[in-house]
Amino acid sequence: MLKSSAVAGPAPSSLVGLVGKWRKTHQNKNLTRPLHFSTTGQASFPNPKSSSAPMEVEIKLRLPDSTAHQQLSDALSPFHVKTLAQENVFFDGEGSELVKNLAALRLRFYDLDSHCVLSLKAKPVISSGISRVEEQEESVDPSVGRACVDDPGRLLLFGSSDIIKRVREEYNVKGLVCLGGFRNVRAVYDWKGLKLELDETVYDFGTSYEIECESAEPERDKILIERFLEENGIMYSYSNVNKFAVFRSRKLPD
Protein backbone atom coordinates (compact mmCIF):
# COMPACT_ATOMS: atom_id res chain seq x y z
CA MET A 1 0.00 0.00 0.00
CA LEU A 2 2.97 2.35 0.58
CA LYS A 3 4.27 4.16 -2.45
CA SER A 4 7.53 6.05 -2.89
CA SER A 5 7.40 9.85 -2.68
CA ALA A 6 9.47 12.49 -4.39
CA VAL A 7 11.33 15.32 -2.67
CA ALA A 8 9.03 18.32 -2.61
CA GLY A 9 9.77 22.03 -2.59
CA PRO A 10 8.98 24.56 0.15
CA ALA A 11 5.47 25.12 1.44
CA PRO A 12 3.38 27.75 -0.34
CA SER A 13 4.16 31.22 1.01
CA SER A 14 0.51 31.88 1.91
CA LEU A 15 0.47 28.83 4.17
CA VAL A 16 3.80 29.76 5.75
CA GLY A 17 2.44 33.22 6.52
CA LEU A 18 -0.72 31.83 8.06
CA VAL A 19 1.15 29.40 10.29
CA GLY A 20 3.66 32.08 11.35
CA LYS A 21 0.95 34.59 12.29
CA TRP A 22 -1.02 31.91 14.11
CA ARG A 23 1.97 30.67 16.13
CA LYS A 24 3.01 34.22 17.03
CA THR A 25 -0.48 35.04 18.29
CA HIS A 26 -0.75 31.86 20.39
CA GLN A 27 2.87 31.27 21.37
CA ASN A 28 2.29 32.07 25.06
CA LYS A 29 -0.76 29.86 25.43
CA ASN A 30 -0.34 26.56 27.23
CA LEU A 31 -2.75 24.01 25.75
CA THR A 32 -1.87 21.28 28.23
CA ARG A 33 -2.42 22.91 31.63
CA PRO A 34 -5.18 21.29 33.73
CA LEU A 35 -8.00 23.65 34.66
CA HIS A 36 -10.67 22.54 37.14
CA PHE A 37 -14.20 23.53 38.02
CA SER A 38 -16.64 21.67 40.26
CA THR A 39 -20.34 22.22 40.74
CA THR A 40 -20.63 19.43 43.31
CA GLY A 41 -18.33 17.80 45.77
CA GLN A 42 -18.16 14.46 43.95
CA ALA A 43 -18.83 13.25 40.43
CA SER A 44 -20.79 10.04 39.87
CA PHE A 45 -20.26 7.66 36.98
CA PRO A 46 -22.81 7.52 34.17
CA ASN A 47 -24.71 4.85 32.39
CA PRO A 48 -25.08 6.60 29.03
CA LYS A 49 -28.26 6.01 27.07
CA SER A 50 -28.31 5.53 23.34
CA SER A 51 -28.55 8.82 21.48
CA SER A 52 -29.80 9.92 18.09
CA ALA A 53 -26.79 12.12 17.28
CA PRO A 54 -25.84 12.36 13.59
CA MET A 55 -23.14 9.95 12.40
CA GLU A 56 -20.01 11.43 10.84
CA VAL A 57 -18.34 9.09 8.34
CA GLU A 58 -14.87 10.01 7.10
CA ILE A 59 -12.03 8.53 5.10
CA LYS A 60 -8.78 9.03 7.04
CA LEU A 61 -5.41 8.32 5.42
CA ARG A 62 -2.17 9.03 7.27
CA LEU A 63 0.85 10.55 5.54
CA PRO A 64 4.27 9.54 6.88
CA ASP A 65 6.06 12.89 6.89
CA SER A 66 6.23 16.51 5.76
CA THR A 67 7.60 15.46 2.35
CA ALA A 68 4.49 13.43 1.54
CA HIS A 69 2.32 16.25 2.91
CA GLN A 70 4.02 18.82 0.65
CA GLN A 71 3.86 16.51 -2.35
CA LEU A 72 0.11 16.04 -1.89
CA SER A 73 -0.36 19.78 -1.32
CA ASP A 74 1.37 20.44 -4.64
CA ALA A 75 -0.69 17.81 -6.48
CA LEU A 76 -3.95 19.24 -5.13
CA SER A 77 -3.04 22.92 -5.52
CA PRO A 78 -5.32 23.49 -8.58
CA PHE A 79 -8.27 22.45 -6.41
CA HIS A 80 -7.45 24.54 -3.32
CA VAL A 81 -10.41 26.37 -1.72
CA LYS A 82 -9.11 27.70 1.60
CA THR A 83 -6.71 27.04 4.47
CA LEU A 84 -7.89 27.07 8.10
CA ALA A 85 -5.90 27.49 11.30
CA GLN A 86 -7.62 25.47 14.02
CA GLU A 87 -7.03 25.29 17.76
CA ASN A 88 -8.69 22.33 19.50
CA VAL A 89 -9.29 22.29 23.27
CA PHE A 90 -10.84 19.28 25.02
CA PHE A 91 -12.76 18.80 28.26
CA ASP A 92 -13.76 15.86 30.43
CA GLY A 93 -15.72 15.29 33.62
CA GLU A 94 -13.80 15.32 36.87
CA GLY A 95 -14.36 11.58 37.11
CA SER A 96 -13.37 11.04 33.44
CA GLU A 97 -17.01 10.33 32.65
CA LEU A 98 -16.65 11.22 28.98
CA VAL A 99 -13.34 9.53 28.19
CA LYS A 100 -14.39 6.36 30.00
CA ASN A 101 -17.45 6.21 27.76
CA LEU A 102 -15.59 6.95 24.49
CA ALA A 103 -16.83 10.53 24.21
CA ALA A 104 -14.94 13.77 23.59
CA LEU A 105 -16.12 17.31 24.32
CA ARG A 106 -14.24 19.91 22.27
CA LEU A 107 -14.07 23.63 21.58
CA ARG A 108 -12.50 24.43 18.22
CA PHE A 109 -11.31 27.96 17.47
CA TYR A 110 -10.83 28.96 13.82
CA ASP A 111 -8.44 31.46 12.23
CA LEU A 112 -7.30 33.48 15.25
CA ASP A 113 -10.73 33.32 16.93
CA SER A 114 -12.82 34.35 13.92
CA HIS A 115 -15.36 31.76 15.08
CA CYS A 116 -15.71 28.83 17.49
CA VAL A 117 -17.58 25.51 17.49
CA LEU A 118 -18.53 23.27 20.41
CA SER A 119 -18.75 19.57 19.56
CA LEU A 120 -19.44 16.26 21.24
CA LYS A 121 -18.17 13.10 19.59
CA ALA A 122 -19.05 9.63 20.86
CA LYS A 123 -18.66 5.93 20.09
CA PRO A 124 -15.82 6.22 17.55
CA VAL A 125 -15.01 3.25 15.32
CA ILE A 126 -12.20 3.32 12.78
CA SER A 127 -11.27 0.47 10.46
CA SER A 128 -9.35 0.25 7.17
CA GLY A 129 -9.09 4.02 6.97
CA ILE A 130 -12.81 4.69 7.48
CA SER A 131 -13.98 6.44 10.65
CA ARG A 132 -17.52 6.46 12.02
CA VAL A 133 -18.46 8.55 15.05
CA GLU A 134 -21.54 10.22 16.51
CA GLU A 135 -21.13 14.01 16.26
CA GLN A 136 -23.07 17.06 17.41
CA GLU A 137 -21.90 20.62 16.76
CA GLU A 138 -23.02 24.07 17.94
CA SER A 139 -21.62 27.54 17.27
CA VAL A 140 -20.22 29.47 20.23
CA ASP A 141 -19.10 33.08 20.50
CA PRO A 142 -15.27 32.92 20.44
CA SER A 143 -14.88 35.20 23.46
CA VAL A 144 -17.24 32.96 25.43
CA GLY A 145 -15.28 29.94 24.28
CA ARG A 146 -12.02 31.46 25.52
CA ALA A 147 -13.65 32.19 28.87
CA CYS A 148 -14.65 28.51 29.09
CA VAL A 149 -11.05 27.43 28.52
CA ASP A 150 -10.04 29.53 31.53
CA ASP A 151 -13.07 28.41 33.56
CA PRO A 152 -14.43 25.08 32.23
CA GLY A 153 -17.48 25.20 34.51
CA ARG A 154 -18.94 27.93 32.32
CA LEU A 155 -19.71 25.26 29.74
CA LEU A 156 -22.12 23.56 32.13
CA LEU A 157 -24.09 26.82 32.34
CA PHE A 158 -25.02 26.69 28.63
CA GLY A 159 -28.68 26.06 29.42
CA SER A 160 -29.91 26.14 25.81
CA SER A 161 -27.21 23.78 24.49
CA ASP A 162 -28.32 20.29 23.47
CA ILE A 163 -24.69 19.16 23.74
CA ILE A 164 -24.33 20.32 27.34
CA LYS A 165 -27.71 18.80 28.15
CA ARG A 166 -26.35 15.44 26.97
CA VAL A 167 -23.11 15.93 28.92
CA ARG A 168 -25.03 16.66 32.12
CA GLU A 169 -27.88 14.17 31.76
CA GLU A 170 -26.60 11.32 29.60
CA TYR A 171 -23.08 11.21 31.04
CA ASN A 172 -23.96 12.65 34.47
CA VAL A 173 -21.08 15.14 34.43
CA LYS A 174 -21.12 17.47 37.45
CA GLY A 175 -17.78 19.22 37.03
CA LEU A 176 -15.41 19.76 34.10
CA VAL A 177 -11.64 19.64 33.60
CA CYS A 178 -9.75 21.17 30.66
CA LEU A 179 -7.50 18.49 29.15
CA GLY A 180 -5.57 20.86 26.89
CA GLY A 181 -5.34 20.27 23.18
CA PHE A 182 -3.46 20.73 19.92
CA ARG A 183 -3.36 22.89 16.80
CA ASN A 184 -4.08 22.00 13.22
CA VAL A 185 -3.53 23.64 9.83
CA ARG A 186 -6.19 22.35 7.42
CA ALA A 187 -6.06 22.94 3.67
CA VAL A 188 -9.42 22.34 2.01
CA TYR A 189 -9.81 21.19 -1.62
CA ASP A 190 -12.75 20.61 -3.97
CA TRP A 191 -11.60 17.55 -5.92
CA LYS A 192 -13.89 15.46 -8.15
CA GLY A 193 -16.90 16.63 -6.15
CA LEU A 194 -15.28 15.59 -2.85
CA LYS A 195 -14.20 17.90 -0.04
CA LEU A 196 -10.65 16.86 0.80
CA GLU A 197 -9.01 18.15 3.98
CA LEU A 198 -5.23 17.99 4.24
CA ASP A 199 -4.08 18.31 7.86
CA GLU A 200 -0.82 19.25 9.54
CA THR A 201 -1.48 18.58 13.23
CA VAL A 202 0.89 20.08 15.78
CA TYR A 203 1.00 18.36 19.18
CA ASP A 204 3.46 19.35 21.89
CA PHE A 205 5.21 15.99 21.29
CA GLY A 206 5.40 16.08 17.49
CA THR A 207 3.63 16.74 14.20
CA SER A 208 1.46 14.37 12.17
CA TYR A 209 -0.06 14.55 8.68
CA GLU A 210 -3.35 13.20 7.39
CA ILE A 211 -5.89 13.57 4.61
CA GLU A 212 -9.58 13.30 5.46
CA CYS A 213 -12.78 13.24 3.44
CA GLU A 214 -16.32 13.11 4.80
CA SER A 215 -18.35 10.81 2.57
CA ALA A 216 -21.73 9.15 2.19
CA GLU A 217 -20.03 6.38 0.18
CA PRO A 218 -16.65 5.97 1.91
CA GLU A 219 -15.62 2.65 0.36
CA ARG A 220 -16.09 4.02 -3.16
CA ASP A 221 -14.45 7.39 -2.45
CA LYS A 222 -11.53 5.83 -0.58
CA ILE A 223 -10.60 3.95 -3.76
CA LEU A 224 -10.59 7.23 -5.73
CA ILE A 225 -8.35 8.96 -3.21
CA GLU A 226 -5.97 6.01 -2.92
CA ARG A 227 -5.65 5.85 -6.70
CA PHE A 228 -4.80 9.56 -6.81
CA LEU A 229 -2.14 9.14 -4.12
CA GLU A 230 -0.62 6.15 -5.88
CA GLU A 231 -0.60 7.88 -9.27
CA ASN A 232 1.35 10.74 -7.69
CA GLY A 233 3.79 8.45 -5.86
CA ILE A 234 2.66 9.62 -2.42
CA MET A 235 3.20 7.30 0.55
CA TYR A 236 0.24 6.73 2.86
CA SER A 237 -1.35 4.25 5.23
CA TYR A 238 -4.77 3.81 6.82
CA SER A 239 -5.29 5.83 9.97
CA ASN A 240 -6.16 3.52 12.87
CA VAL A 241 -6.67 6.13 15.61
CA ASN A 242 -8.25 9.58 15.65
CA LYS A 243 -6.48 12.80 16.62
CA PHE A 244 -7.94 12.88 20.13
CA ALA A 245 -6.62 9.37 20.79
CA VAL A 246 -3.16 10.46 19.58
CA PHE A 247 -3.33 13.50 21.86
CA ARG A 248 -4.32 11.35 24.82
CA SER A 249 -1.55 8.80 24.17
CA ARG A 250 1.10 11.52 23.75
CA LYS A 251 2.68 9.42 21.01
CA LEU A 252 2.57 9.83 17.23
CA PRO A 253 1.17 6.85 15.29
CA ASP A 254 3.76 4.35 14.06
What is the band of 254 on the pLDDT scale with cuts at 50, 70, 90?
A: confident
Give the per-residue pLDDT at 20: 53
Domains of the chain: 55-249 (2.40.320.10)
Predicted pLDDT of residue 71? 98
Kindly report the number of other CB atoms within 10 A of residue 12's CB atom: 16
Compute the 3-state secondary structure of the chain and give helix, strand, coil in percent, each to the nearest 5: 30, 40, 30
CB environment 216-248: b (16+ within 10 A), e (fewer)? eebeebbebbbebbeebebbbebbebbbbebbe
User: What are 101-144's pLDDT values in tens digits?
Assistant: 999 999 999 998 999 999 999 999 999 999 999 999 999 999 99
Average pLDDT over the chain reads 86
Average of per-residue pLDDT across 219-243: 98
Handedness of CA 101, 103, 88, 56 (dihedral sign): positive
Angstrom distance (rounded) from CA 211 to CA 90: 22
44 pLDDT above the threshold of 90: no
- With 0-12 / 13-18 / 19 or more C-beta atoms within 10 angstroms meaning exposed / middle / buried, residue 198 is buried
Q: Provide the pLDDT for residue 46.
A: 36
Res 167: pLDDT = 98
For 149-194, the pLDDT digits (tens) are 999 999 999 999 999 999 999 999 999 999 999 999 999 999 999 9
For the residues 60-71, what does the mean pLDDT come to?
98
Asked if 52 and 196 count as a contact pair (C-beta separation under 8 A), the reply is no
Distances (CA, A) of 6 to 148, 198, 206: 44, 18, 23
- How far apart CA 125 and CA 168 sit, in angstroms, is 24
Residue 18 has pLDDT above 70, yes or no: no
CB 59 within 8 A of CB 225: yes
pLDDT in tens, 203-220: 999 999 999 999 999 999
